[in-house]
A and B are shown apart, each in its own frame.
Chain A
Amino acid sequence: MSKTLRGVLGASCLVALGLPAMAETITVATVNNGDMIRMQGLMSHFNEKHPDIEVNWVTLEENVLRQRVTTDIATNGGQYDVLTIGNYEVPIWAGQGWLLPLDDMGEDYDAEDLLTPVAAALTVDGTLYAAPFYAESAMLMYRTDLLEKAGLTMPENPDWDFITEAAEKMTDKANGTYGICLRGKAGWGENMAFLTAMSHSMGARWFDMDWKPQFDSPEWKATLDTYLNLMTNYGPPGASSNGFNENLALFQTGKCGMWIDATVAASFVSNPEDSVVAENVGFAPFPTAAGGDNHGNWLWSWNLAIPASSTKQEASKAFVAWATSKEYTNLVAQEDGIANAPPGTRTSLYENEEYMKAPFAQPTLTAIENANTQNPSVQDVPYTGGQWISIPEFQAIGTAVGQVFSAALAGSSDADQALTAAQALTQREMQRAGYPK
């Protein structure tokens, strides 16, 4: 081999070693919802901008995903570079030091544009730990035709007394129409999401300032009495196994007069392709107690976060910044229409006149702005949250209490028995967990 050839070969090896690494692959764990699926379809735009980053999607059902990513992050398993997690997890995980701070998302990111209540729930000690992709609150969806037939007009801010009256008048069991559909299936994210928000709206609280459970309070009694009265007299049969999807199916097929649930349902029930009542749907804020102004403070967001242990932090950050940017909203508007933009995260979206033409845009914004997760109850509370309580034990306690309340709805016990059982089990679990801390 000539000296020249050897030299050339050696130089090429050196150049090859110095070349930037091959495309980096990041693994993104996400949930199966319409907005996330849409993003997967728009990945070619991200690849154009970042040809050196490949995104590997892992889509899972919400509860499977929660168990999966919790196991992985708690054991430092390192299987994921970007996680889709809720605002329930973000403050708890950030407190454990599991998440990468996301303060430096680039000049174009405009973090100021994020809706204040949404960003507040993702911020710990002034640092943002997750970027919101999509957010929702809860509101009342109702059948305008049935309400009119009942001779009622929806007030600007309905209270629970009005809801009871309307439910009674809209119910026509002979024709399979039920005045109200609410969640009854047991689970901290199922019936307890609704009942916790409802209890906050009625002035109740889960714990006093010493972390003592408050199910023995008159406010909780009023909450459960109202709920059971509504559901047993004016609700659909078998309501104790109904969750979001079951109620969505009932409402879309014209079986419910009213439904109080996540704002994301609004776009489904007003879509004529899937809903036979699309033309007759009205929206109103989450009900309050008579004369009150607490709307329950339901606020949920799906957020993209990066585990502190990720070895591909820069690439992950580039992806998160793109997916939660204004640029992404514009891209969806251009490809699929502005009405399909992921809702509830950015002020700029709600300044877009075209978007505000959608019937659900303003009610969704109002609902999100009404939510105060920092002070969810009118009484003093030691926790933050809204339709959940921001402590790690809430998943277990909330589900256990949810089972007690679901059983009461099914007729196995009355409100007093259910509240006594809920009080006892919550007290026991909180003591075991070492509260007050």
Chain B
Amino acid sequence: MARESTPQRKIVVTVIAWIIALAIFFPILWTILTSFKTEAQAIAIPPRFLNFDWTLANYVTVQERSNYFGHFMNSVIISLGSTILALAVAIPAAWSMAFVPGKRTKDVLMWMLSTKMMPAVGVLIPIYLLFRDWGLLDTRAGLIIVLMLMNLPIVVWMLYTYFKEIPGEILEAARMDGASLGKEILYVLTPMAVPGIASTLLLNIILAWNEAFWTLNLTTSNAAPLSTFIASYSSPEGLFYAKLSAASTLAIAPILILGWFSQKQLVRGLTFGAVK
């Protein structure tokens, strides 16, 4: 039986939810606020929350010093490219695992996930050497491939979970009506799994956008996305916190906006199948 939802309970739950949400969001909010301060105000003790002289000077400096748009375009191409490629590989893979599982399907799934457990730096040198020999260093194509491979286990796992929720009988019915395998995946399975695919797509774009190991280590300038743009404003000797915050705000703004508009799909996708 569902628990009774009294107005008091609603208020308590709402307040707790707000506190948790604000605690999680606070570092981002602080970064955004710092980006509007002067360098001296950024380090002021006690810290200033809203009572400072708001300035856009940091944004002007960052725009003057860096090619933001170039980095932004690289981020868009790399995150979209790697996500689409990952979906193209993962949809058939998840289909076979969900609807025609073999004896070792569960082991394969676990093994795929285990590749995420190795620190990326462990394979940096071999991948760097391969990239050097194949001429892929500092290219978008190279990064699309690497990020696709890095995120593939998560994409397969997510899609596998969604596909498992779809009754196999529907696919069987399509087969009996004469649908080929390709048509079955494309016209029957995919439309039914759209919410799942959409949330996988969004999550993967966010992961690829925020990736800061391979994007820093395999690029120089031509393919450098926004992670390198941020890294160029960090400095162990010199207080550039306000400029660093401005660069960070510019780098996360697009993905934050995307997340804001697609939160419904994201939440629906992430909780899909969680409660039966």
**Interface on A for B, CB 8 Å cutoff?**
27, 29, 31-34, 37, 40, 56-64, 67-68, 71-72, 74-80, 176, 189, 243-245, 248-250, 252-253, 255, 262, 264, 268, 273-274
Whether A58 touches B220, Cβ cut-off 8 Å, given contacts A76-B132, A273-B40, is yes
Are B236 and A71 neighbours in the complex by a CB distance under 8 Å? no
A33 to B221, CA, bound (A): 19
Whether A60 touches B232, Cβ cut-off 8 Å, given contacts A27-B220, A253-B43, A253-B44, is yes
- Chain B residue nearest to A271 (CB atoms) is B40
Q: Write out the residue numbers on chain A whose beta carbons fall within 8 Å of the beta carbon of B216.
A: 60, 64, 68
Are B220 and A79 neighbours in the complex by a CB distance under 8 Å? yes
Q: Write out the residue numbers on chain A whose beta carbons fall within 8 Å of the beta carbon of B221.
A: 27, 56-58
A191 to B53, CA, bound (A): 35
- B55 contacts the other chain (Cβ, under 8 Å)? no
Are B228 and A60 neighbours in the complex by a CB distance under 8 Å? yes
Are A274 and B39 neighbours in the complex by a CB distance under 8 Å? yes
A34 to B216, CA, bound (A): 22
Are B124 and A71 neighbours in the complex by a CB distance under 8 Å? yes
**Interface on B for A, CB 8 Å cutoff?**
39-40, 43-45, 65, 124-125, 128-129, 132, 137-138, 216-217, 220-221, 224, 228, 231-240
A255 to B228, CA, bound (A): 34
- Chain B residue nearest to A255 (CB atoms) is B45
B231's partner among A61, A74, A244 (CB-CB below 8 A) is A61
- Chain B residue nearest to A40 (CB atoms) is B65
- Chain A residue nearest to B45 (CB atoms) is A253
B interface, over-half SS: loop
A268 to B39, CA, bound (A): 12
Q: Write out the residue numbers on chain B whose beta carbons fall within 8 Å of the beta carbon of A72.
A: 128
A264 to B132, CA, bound (A): 38
Whether A75 touches B129, Cβ cut-off 8 Å, given contacts A27-B221, A68-B216, A274-B40, is yes
Are A31 and B235 neighbours in the complex by a CB distance under 8 Å? yes
Are A61 and B39 neighbours in the complex by a CB distance under 8 Å? no
Closest approach, in angstroms, between the C-beta of B49 and any C-beta of chain A? 17
A67 to B120, CA, bound (A): 14
Can you list 21 residue pairs at the A/B interface with Cβ under 8 Å?
A27-B221, A29-B220, A32-B232, A34-B238, A37-B65, A60-B231, A61-B234, A61-B236, A62-B236, A64-B216, A64-B231, A64-B234, A75-B125, A77-B132, A77-B137, A78-B132, A80-B220, A244-B237, A245-B236, A245-B239, A249-B43
Closest approach, in angstroms, between the C-beta of A33 and any C-beta of chain B? 6
Which of A31, A32, A75, A245 lies at the interface centre, i.e. has the most chain B CB atoms within 10 A of its CB?
Answer: A32
Closest approach, in angstroms, between the C-beta of A322 and any C-beta of chain B? 21
Which of A57, A61, A62, A67 lies at the interface centre, i.e. has the most chain B CB atoms within 10 A of its CB?
Answer: A61
A352 to B234, CA, bound (A): 33
Closest approach, in angstroms, between the C-beta of B37 and any C-beta of chain A? 13
Are A243 and B137 neighbours in the complex by a CB distance under 8 Å? no
Q: Write out the residue numbers on chain A whose beta carbons fall within 8 Å of the beta carbon of B228.
A: 58, 60
Q: Write out the residue numbers on chain B whose beta carbons fall within 8 Å of the beta carbon of A68.
A: 216-217
Q: Write out the residue numbers on chain B whose beta carbons fall within 8 Å of the beta carbon of A60.
A: 216, 228, 231-232
Are B137 and A79 neighbours in the complex by a CB distance under 8 Å? yes
Closest approach, in angstroms, between the C-beta of B224 and any C-beta of chain A? 8
- Chain B residue nearest to A74 (CB atoms) is B125
Are A32 and B128 neighbours in the complex by a CB distance under 8 Å? no
A33 to B237, CA, bound (A): 7
Q: Write out the residue numbers on chain B whose beta carbons fall within 8 Å of the beta carbon of A268.
A: 238-239
Q: Write out the residue numbers on chain B whose beta carbons fall within 8 Å of the beta carbon of A27.
A: 220-221
- Chain B residue nearest to A250 (CB atoms) is B45
Q: Write out the residue numbers on chain B whose beta carbons fall within 8 Å of the beta carbon of A273.
A: 40
Q: Write out the residue numbers on chain B whose beta carbons fall within 8 Å of the beta carbon of A248.
A: 239
Closest approach, in angstroms, between the C-beta of B221 and any C-beta of chain A? 5
Task: Give 20 new A-B contacts, CB below 8 A, not counting A61-B235, A245-B237, A252-B43.
Answer: A27-B221, A32-B234, A33-B237, A58-B224, A60-B216, A62-B237, A63-B236, A68-B217, A71-B217, A74-B125, A78-B132, A244-B236, A245-B238, A249-B239, A252-B239, A253-B45, A268-B238, A274-B39, A274-B40, A274-B239
A32's partner among B39, B125, B137, B235 (CB-CB below 8 A) is B235
Closest approach, in angstroms, between the C-beta of B111 and any C-beta of chain A? 28
